[in-house]
Structure 1
Amino acid sequence: MSCRAFLVTAPASGQGKTTVTAALARQARARGERVRVFKTGPDFFDPMIHEVASGESCHQLDLFMGGLAHCQALLAEAAREANLILVEGVMGLFDGKPSSADLTRAFRLPIVAVIDGSAMAQTFGALAHGLASFQPDLEFAGVIANRVASERHAAMLFESLPPQIPGLGWLPREAAITLPERHLGLLPAAELADLESRLDKAATALHFDASQLLDWEGPGDVAQAVGRASARYERPDVGLKPDPRLSALQGQRIAIARDEAFCFIYPANLDTLRALGAELAFFSPLHDATLPACDAVWLPGGYPELHAARIAANEGMQLALLAHASAGKPLLAECDGMMSLFETLVTADGAMHAGFGLLEGGALMQGKLAALGLQEAALPEGSLRGHSFHYSRADTPLVPIAHGTNPNGGATTEAVYRVGRSTASYIHFYFPSNPAAVAALFRA
Structure 2
Amino acid sequence: MSACPALFISAPASGQGKTTITAGLARHHAQLGRRVRVFKTGPDFLDPMILARASGAPVQSLDLWMVGEHACRVLLAEAAEDADLILIEGVMGLFDGTPSSADLATTFNVPVVGVISAKAMAQTFGAVAFGLAHFRPHVPFQGVFANRVGSTRHAQMLEEALPDGLRWMGHIASASDIELPDRHLGLHQADEIADLDARIDRAADALAGTPLAGLPAPVDFGTASRETMPRLLDGMRIAIARDAAFSFIYPANVTLLEKLGASVTYFSPLADEPVPAAADALWLPGGYPELHAPTLSRNTVSAASIHAHARAGKTLIAECGGMLYLLDTLTDVSGTRTPMLGLLPGDATMQSRLASLGMQQITGTRGAMRGHTFHYSRLETTMTPLTKAVRAQSTAPGEAVFRAGNIVATYMHSYWPSNPAFTAALFHGEAF
Shorter-chain TM range is over 0.9
**Root mean square deviation of aligned Cα:** 1.8
The question of whether the paired residues in 2 share the 8 Å contact of 1:44 and 1:265 is answered with yes
- Residue of structure 1 equivalent to 2:323: 338
The question of whether the paired residues in 1 share the 8 Å contact of 2:50 and 2:190 is answered with yes
Distance 1:118 1:210 in 2: 21
Q: Report the CA distance between 1:71 and its aligned residue.
A: 0.3
Distance 1:187 1:370 in 2: 20
Q: Does 1:265 align with 2:266?
A: no
Q: Report the CA distance between 1:2 and its aligned residue.
A: 5.1
- Residue of structure 2 equivalent to 1:164: 165
Distance 2:78 2:145 in 1: 28
SS at match of 1:12: coil
What are structure 1's unaligned runs of at least 5 residues? 228-238
Q: Does 1:308 align with 2:308?
A: no
Distance 2:279 2:244 in 1: 22
User: Would the alpha carbon gap of residues 337 and 381 (structure 1) be closer, same or farther in structure 2, given more than 3 Å must change?
Assistant: farther
The question of whether the paired residues in 1 share the 8 Å contact of 2:38 and 2:51 is answered with yes
SS at match of 2:292: helix
The question of whether the paired residues in 2 share the 8 Å contact of 1:261 and 1:307 is answered with yes
Greater mean deviation of Cα atoms: 372-381 or 403-412: 403-412
Distance 1:174 1:410 in 2: 45
- Residue of structure 2 equivalent to 1:26: 27
Q: Does 1:291 align with 2:275?
A: yes
- Residue of structure 1 equivalent to 2:374: 389
- Residue of structure 2 equivalent to 1:127: 128
Aligned ranges 1:274-285 → 2 under 5 Å? 274-285=258-269
Distance 1:418 1:328 in 2: 13
The question of whether the paired residues in 1 share the 8 Å contact of 2:237 and 2:263 is answered with yes
After superposition, give the CA deviation of every residue in 1:84-132 in whole Å (9 maximum; x if it has no partner).
1110001111110111111011101111110111111111111111111
SS at match of 1:386: strand
Distance 1:306 1:90 in 2: 25
- Residue of structure 2 equivalent to 1:254: 238
User: How high is the sequence identity, in percent, across the aligned residues?
Assistant: 52
The question of whether the paired residues in 2 share the 8 Å contact of 1:169 and 1:207 is answered with no
SS at match of 2:357: strand
Greater mean deviation of Cα atoms: 287-296 or 99-108: 287-296
SS at match of 2:39: strand
Distance 1:373 1:241 in 2: 30
What amino acid sits opposite 2:218 in the alignment? D
SS at match of 1:324: helix
Greater mean deviation of Cα atoms: 414-423 or 375-384: 375-384
Q: Does 1:358 align with 2:358?
A: no
Q: Report the CA distance between 1:241 and its aligned residue.
A: 6.6
The count of aligned residue pairs is 427
- Residue of structure 1 equivalent to 2:218: 221
Q: Does 1:77 align with 2:78?
A: yes
Greater mean deviation of Cα atoms: 92-101 or 378-387: 378-387
Q: Report the CA distance between 1:412 and its aligned residue.
A: 6.7
Distance 1:275 1:80 in 2: 20
Q: Does 1:422 align with 2:407?
A: yes
User: Would the alpha carbon gap of residues 391 and 212 (structure 1) be closer, same or farther in structure 2, given more than 3 Å must change?
Assistant: closer
The question of whether the paired residues in 1 share the 8 Å contact of 2:80 and 2:221 is answered with no
Aligned ranges 1:139-150 → 2 under 5 Å? 139-150=140-151
2:387 to 377, 390, 402: 402
- Residue of structure 1 equivalent to 2:334: 349
Distance 1:241 1:419 in 2: 37
The question of whether the paired residues in 1 share the 8 Å contact of 2:352 and 2:376 is answered with yes
The question of whether the paired residues in 2 share the 8 Å contact of 1:22 and 1:54 is answered with yes
Distance 2:337 2:181 in 1: 28
What amino acid sits opposite 1:183 in the alignment? H
After superposition, give the CA deviation of every residue in 1:365-393 in whole Å (9 maximum; x if it has no partner).
11111111111012455421111001101
